[in-house]
Amino acid sequence: MVEWNDGWTIYIWLVSGVSILIAVVFGLRWASQNEQFDEDIKYLVFDDKDKDKMDPEEFKKYQIATAKQESRRAELLKEKADASR
């Protein structure tokens, strides 16, 4: 059996590190193209029953974020229906 010297392990670390960095770049690119960096997404876990638990300002932000997401969803569904024709 061939004995490997101790110097080859650095290359494995380098290849692993570069692979991870490439995967991170592709992941960030995918996330930016698929609207994943929306700060108001945290409001989508609430519903109208949570009004008494929220500040009026926060509730207004919830309503705006929900309306925006619902309109974007309708747009995407329409695009998907048009593409399938």
> What's the Rg (C-alpha) of the chain?
23
Over the stretch 25-62, which tens digit does the pLDDT of each residue have? Answer: 999 999 999 888 877 778 878 888 888 888 899 899 88
> For residues 46 and 65, is the Cβ–Cβ distance under 8 A?
no
Give the containing element (helix H, strand E) for 30. helix 9-33
Q: Which of 28, 57, 31, 30 is nearest to 43 (CA)?
A: 57
Determine the longest span between alpha carbons in the chain, in angstroms: 73
Question: What is the average per-residue pLDDT within 13-27?
Answer: 97
Q: What is the pLDDT of residue 20?
A: 98
**Where are the chain's structural domains?**
1-37, 38-85
- Measured CA to CA in angstroms, residue 61 lies from 31, 57, 74 at distances of 23, 6, 20
